[in-house]
C-alpha cells in the first residue's frame, strides 16, 4: 500500500506520540500531522514527532477547526503525494488502534470507489452515555432526512482514495460539522460508504475531546436540516 496517514490535532498531550509510534510500528511510512493552531505549551508533541523521517508537520498559526485541518492535509497530499493510493484520517487521542487503521487502508485499496469508515460498536457497556445517545440520535436523523445509513456518524477513522480528495476539499464545513457534512455530500455525489468494525476505545470517557456538545451538535443538525430542505425543494 502507498497510503498517507493524516492526523489533525489541537493542543495534544503525550498521546499524540503514542499514535505516531503505533503507526510506525504497524509499518506506515508517511504520516502527516496538522497542528491546528495549538498553544505554545502544546507544541512539544509535534516537535518530538517531527524527529521521525516518516513524519511531516503542517501548521495553522491559529485554530481553524478540524474540518479545515483535514482539507489542508488533503490539498497538501494532492500536490505533494500524487501517486498515493489514498489517505486515512486518524484522531490524535490514541483511540484508534494501528491494526484498525491498517484494516481500513486495506479496504480502501481493495475497493477505492468507496470511502471507508472505521465504525465503533455503541452497544458496548464501556461507551459513555452521551456518546451512545448522541450517535444513536444523529444516525437516525441522518437516515431519515438525508437517506444516509451509517453505523457511526462521527468516526474520525476514514480511508479515502486519492480520486476522492478533490471532492473532499470542496465539501463545506470548517470544524467538527465537516465530518457530518461529508457523509450526505458523498451520498449525493454517488460515492458509496463502506464500514470496517473497529475496536471501541474511550480514554477517560473521552474527556480530552475538543467536541463541544451544544455548539457542535447544533452545527451538525443544521447541516442535516438544510440538506433535507434542499432535497424537498428539488423534488427528490
Which H or E run includes 194? strand 193-197
CATH number at residue 71: 3.90.550.10
Domain span including residue 211: 3-234
Residues 6+ apart with CB under 8 A from 46: 9, 12, 16, 33, 35, 38, 57, 59
How does DSSP assign 1-60, residue by residue?
--EEEEEEESS--THHHHHHHHHHHTT---EEEEEES--GGG-HHHHHHTTSTTEEEEEE
3-class SS of residue 147: coil
Confidence of residue 121 (pLDDT cuts 50, 70, 90): confident
Residue 205 has pLDDT above 60, yes or no: no
Q: How far is CA 199 from CA 37, 96, 98, 155, 216, in A?
A: 30, 8, 10, 12, 25
Mean pLDDT, the chain, integer? 88
The number of folded domains in the chain is: 1
* DSSP letter (8 states) at residue 176: T
The confidence band for 20, taking pLDDT boundaries of 50, 70 and 90, is very high
Q: What percent of the chain has pLDDT over 90?
A: 68
What is the arithmetic mean of pLDDT over 128-153? 80
CB 50, CB 57: distance < 8 Å = yes
Specify the range with the lowest mean pLDDT, choosing from 88-92, 167-171, 226-230.
226-230
pLDDT of residue 210: 44
- Assign 204 a pLDDT band (cuts: 50, 70, 90): low
pLDDT for 208: 47
pLDDT bracket for residue 139 (50, 70, 90): confident
Inform me whether the pLDDT recorded for 147 exceeds 60. Answer: yes
Amino acid at each position: 500500500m502507498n497510503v498517507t496517514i493524516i492526523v489533525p490535532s489541537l493542543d495534544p498531550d503525550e498521546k499524540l506520540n503514542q499514535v505516531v509510534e503505533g503507526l510506525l510500528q504497524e509499518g506506515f511510512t508517511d504520516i502527516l500531522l496538522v497542528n491546528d493552531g495549538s498553544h505554545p505549551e502544546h507544541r512539544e508533541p509535534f516537535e518530538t514527532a517531527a524527529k521521525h523521517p516518516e513524519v511531516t508537520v503542517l501548521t495553522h498559526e491559529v485554530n481553524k477547526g478540524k474540518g479545515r485541518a483535514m482539507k489542508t492535509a488533503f490539498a497538501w497530499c494532492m500536490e505533494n503525494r500524487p501517486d498515493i493510493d489514498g489517505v486515512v484520517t486518524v484522531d490524535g487521542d490514541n483511540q484508534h488502534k494501528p491494526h484498525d487503521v491498517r484494516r481500513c487502508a486495506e479496504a480502501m485499496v481493495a475497493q477505492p470507489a468507496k470511502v471507508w469508515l472505521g465504525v465503533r460498536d455503541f452497544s458496548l457497556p464501556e461507551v459513555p452515555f452521551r456518546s451512545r445517545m448522541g450517535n444513536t440520535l444523529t444516525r437516525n436523523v441522518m437516515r431519515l432526512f438525508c437517506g444516509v445509513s451509517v453505523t457511526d456518524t462521527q468516526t474520525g477513522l476514514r480511508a479515502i482514495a486519492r480520486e476522492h480528495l478533490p471532492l473532499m476539499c470542496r465539501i463545506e464545513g470548517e470544524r467538527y460539522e465537516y465530518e457530518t457534512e461529508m457523509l450526505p455530500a458523498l451520498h449525493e455525489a454517488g460515492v458509496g460508504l463502506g464500514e470496517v468494525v473497529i475496536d471501541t476505545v474511550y480514554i477517560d470517557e473521552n474527556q480530552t475531546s475538543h467536541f463541544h456538545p451544544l455548539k457542535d451538535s447544533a452545527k451538525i443538525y443544521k447541516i442535516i436540516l438544510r440538506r433535507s430542505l434542499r432535497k424537498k425543494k428539488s423534488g427528490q
